[in-house]
């Protein structure tokens, strides 16, 4: 079985995002692999380690620094990397989910033909969560989003999926299929130094986005990017009576 994993390069999870010149500031900002993509890579590598999959290919779209993101994926255990190079912003400002899904589709249908596509459930920059479902629609294949558990079952997979009310189990009967990964699925491994060294020798292929013949123009126009208003300072009250009065009349959370 071959698995294709999507890995996105985003502003580092621990970094405070700022707005500059009307958009999210990316210059000199630390960027790393999207945490949900890390979980997807981890799951793919585990499937390979349990001999369910034979090959894991990582795919990333973005500027030349995406090769670093791919190297992390390779250090975690992926076999090969594909880098679709573009200088368009991938945080929704320029490249948007439909274009991304179409690029994935082309690689899948015309190049790799994987049995399983693992993606993070959403990018922590755009928070869209759309590439997975859109890709499955384009491929006309089964999709399970927000996977908390993935088990090989018959010739497909049994997936536990997160919902607001709890989890539901879905049996994917035919492949290929798209699974997007959620937080509880696994805890991604660290990249050990020997594996980082090995990863340097694994092949990474670069494809220029503009040579793919896909219309990459954004479908939605970003009108405004602003920081959330600063949190108001809290106040100290003198006693319980004052607290109740404020909860009643100011915060209006008491009847």
Please report, as ranges, the residues that interact with another protein according to CB under 8 A.
12-15, 28, 30, 32-33, 35, 68, 72, 75, 187, 190-194, 196-197
Q: Which two tokens stand for residue 95?
A: 């490249």
Q: Which pair of structure tokens corresponds to residue 4? A: 């294709």
User: Measured over all CA atoms, what is the biggest interatomic distance in the chain, rounded to whole angstroms?
Assistant: 70
Q: Report the SS3 class of residue 101.
A: helix
Q: Residue 59: is it exposed, middle or buried by C-beta count within 10 angstroms (0-12/13-18/19+)?
A: buried
Q: Which is nearer to another protein, 72 or 180 (CB)?
A: 72
Which of 65, 113 has the CB closer to another protein? Answer: 65
* Distance of closest approach, residue 86 Cβ to another protein, in angstroms: 19
Q: Which is nearer to another protein, 196 or 214 (CB)?
A: 196
Q: In the bound complex, what is the minimum distance in angstroms from residue 229's beta carbon to another protein?
A: 17
Task: Please identify, using beta-carbon distances, which residue of 141 and 196 lies nearer to another protein.
Answer: 196
Name the residue with tokens 């369910």: 52
Q: Is 70 exposed, middle or buried (0-12, 13-18, 19+ CB in 10 A)?
A: buried
Residue placing its CB nearer to another protein in the complex, 75 or 78: 75
Q: How far is the CB of 197 from another protein (least distance, A)?
A: 7
Q: Is 185 exposed, middle or buried (CB count within 10 Å of its CB: 0-12, 13-18, 19+)?
A: buried
Residue 225 is given by DSSP the state -
Cβ 73 to another protein shortest distance, Å: 10
| Residue-wise DSSP of 30-85 | -EEE-HHHHHHHHHHHHHHHTTS-SEEEEEEEESTTHHHHHHHHHHHT-SEEEEEE
- CB closer to another protein out of 22 and 194: 194
Distance CA 139, CA 160 (A): 22
CB of 32 to another protein, least distance (A): 3
Tell me how far, at minimum, the Cβ of 96 lies from another protein, in Å.
24
């Amino acid at each position: 079985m071959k698995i294709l994993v999507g890995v996105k390069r985003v502003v580092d999870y621990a970094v405070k995002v700022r707005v500059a010149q009307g958009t999210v500031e990316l210059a000199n900002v630390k960027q790393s692999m999207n945490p949900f993509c890390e979980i997807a890579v981890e799951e793919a590598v585990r499937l390979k380690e349990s001999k369910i999959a034979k090959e894991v290919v990582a795919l990333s779209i973005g500027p030349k620094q995406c090769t670093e993101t791919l190297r992390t994926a390779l250090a975690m255990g992926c076999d090969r990397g594909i880098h679709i190079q573009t200088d368009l912003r991938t945080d929704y400002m320029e490249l948007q989910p439909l274009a991304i899904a179409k690029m994935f589709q082309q690689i899948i249908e015309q190049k790799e033909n994987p049995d399983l596509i693992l993606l993070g459930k959403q990018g922590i920059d755009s928070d869209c969560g759309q590439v997975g479902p859109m890709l499955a629609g384009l491929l006309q294949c089964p999709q399970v989003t927000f996977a908390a558990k993935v088990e090989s079952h018959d010739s497909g997979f049994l997936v536990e999926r997160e919902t607001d009310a709890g989890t539901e189990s879905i049996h994917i009967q035919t492949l290929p299929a798209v699974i997007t990964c959620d937080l509880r699925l696994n805890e991604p491994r660290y990249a050990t130094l020997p594996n980082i060294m090995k990863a340097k020798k694994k092949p990474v292929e670069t494809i220029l986005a503009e040579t793919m013949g896909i219309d990459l123009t954004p479908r939605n126009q970003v009108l405004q990017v602003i920081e959330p208003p600063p949190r108001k300072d809290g106040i100290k009250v003198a006693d319980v009576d004052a607290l109740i009065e404020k909860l009643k009349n100011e915060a209006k959370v008491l009847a």
